[in-house]
Structure 1
């Protein structure tokens, strides 16, 4: 770990710039629950919420190995140096990469591309350090708390794209029962919006509030399938983002045009499949006929 000449993150900078929530959730014991409190009080707790529900300001990985700091800074893979590592006496640690002002919105259905990239980045970093894929990512070991040994990395924040490694997958898995971390947000968006688009037609004569409640119920159902469900406030924000976008952008003409376009795409695909199927069926029939004629001629 050679940081000579580099400007390093500090306790003061972490508490004033990296920590985003105005009233973060925090606790001294995870088994006792977490509670929202002022920043000053939260910074005295052992575990703290580093990013608010709506915005992702840091990517944090749980490295459940006694050599977590070595995995973080000696870089056996090609991952960038973490902004901080908060290590317990056992050596296990939380590794954080600070995004600075390059926040990723977790609840905006109109901007799914950065969230999907963040999900892939998170997964790639987790593979690089052999982290815990089941880690929910909301609370992290508070780097300022004296119970943890904290090693700080570069003081400058990262661009999201700078955190890509050879382990960053081209596509992350989206099975609901296997979704964790940012994968839950992506899976909820994709599942709920695909359900909501065709449902709008049947509920277009109701009120917007009725429609939002319907989408919220669907998102809640998706959330119950996660091993570690998202907080309700995040589920509600996601549902309202999807519902409001559809309610604002859909009308009967738009919906009919969209369905017609989907039908044309589906028809072309079906035609290709049918053509291939017909060719194969004709070939089999021709082969069968030739064999029968041959045996009749011989006999």
Structure 2
């Protein structure tokens, strides 16, 4: 069972993972053959998540998920010196984290991830970039669940009803991808109209904005992920939001007739005829309801 889990882990590694033998000196990047020898390694691919990973910094982390009625991890990778562990849950279907992926499944995955983190009482500051490498002899490895998880199966252990929209895009894990994409694209929809820039200039503007939003997270996303989000938004907005297209949209939605109707609605005129018939008739609300039947006969 352990060999199968390790084989799955190694198979799903990025081609050039981040790795480190000592986190005090930061991380480096190299081919899988070199990185797989290190104590710490990047376990998910840049735009694809095969594992939900959690950092549990307390003694007994290897087993106390059971006391919390949490689902069994696929792998626990434990530091024998203090009992702290990384808990990894292998997914049957990977989660596309790139901004060209569908946002609805990503938000669902973020909600599951966040609810599971709370149940495990895992470290909310964990970036999720690297984990203890289960191939390294320094760590103690255990396999608890050989079957691959679906998000729905994990959700069966969790209370997602309490998760509102803000929690789904929380400052943690997948939630950061959702939040960064949403905030940057909303800014881009407005900002592109200020001059309709060329691609390079626009790409740099989107990247700078995404970087600024990313720095607001307690554990910012990796720079490559930020660049991917910025690039996707820059390309989409340039392709779909042109000056000619915007002028046509304004022409189509701001005709004299439509503006007139909007003006009436903004002053209550559009709603009075539907919901305030006493205004149309020219009587008070109380008078209208006292003589409602008479007025209705007159209307018909």
TM class, shorter-length: 0.7 to 0.9
| Aligned: 1:86 with 2:113 | no
TM-score for both structures, normalised by structure 2: 0.76
1:110, CA displacement in angstroms? Answer: 4.9
Label 1:198 to 1:97 Cα distance change in 2 as closer, same or farther (>3 A): same
Contact 2:6 2:134 in 1 (8 A): no
TM-score for both structures, normalised by structure 1: 0.77
Aligned to 2:148: 157
**Larger RCO (CA within 8 A; separation ≥ 6):** 1
Aligned counterparts, 1:48-67, within 5 A: 48-67=41-60
Contact 1:203 1:211 in 2 (8 A): no
Label 1:15 to 1:200 Cα distance change in 2 as closer, same or farther (>3 A): same
The range that moved more, 160-169 or 55-64, is 160-169
For 1:243 and 1:268, locate their aligned partners in 2 and report how far apart those are by CA, in whole Å.
38
For 1:60 and 1:39, locate their aligned partners in 2 and report how far apart those are by CA, in whole Å.
19
| Aligned: 1:42 with 2:35 | yes
1:181, CA displacement in angstroms? Answer: 2.1
Post-superposition CA distance 1:215-273 (Å, at most 9, x none): 11110111122222222211111101111112222234367649959x99x9999778x
For 1:267 and 1:93, locate their aligned partners in 2 and report how far apart those are by CA, in whole Å.
62
1:156, CA displacement in angstroms? Answer: 3.1
Aligned to 1:4: none
| Aligned: 1:68 with 2:70 | no
1:15, CA displacement in angstroms? Answer: 4.1
Label 1:135 to 1:105 Cα distance change in 2 as closer, same or farther (>3 A): same
Aligned counterparts, 1:130-149, within 5 A: 130-149=121-140
Aligned to 1:10: 4
1:132, CA displacement in angstroms? Answer: 0.8
Aligned to 1:192: 184
For 2:263 and 2:67, locate their aligned partners in 1 and report how far apart those are by CA, in whole Å.
51
For 2:101 and 2:77, locate their aligned partners in 1 and report how far apart those are by CA, in whole Å.
35
For 1:144 and 1:23, locate their aligned partners in 2 and report how far apart those are by CA, in whole Å.
16
Contact 2:168 2:175 in 1 (8 A): no
Aligned to 2:226: 235
**Aligned mate of 2:202, from 211, 214, 218:** 211
SS at match of 1:62: strand
CA RMSD across the alignment? 3.4
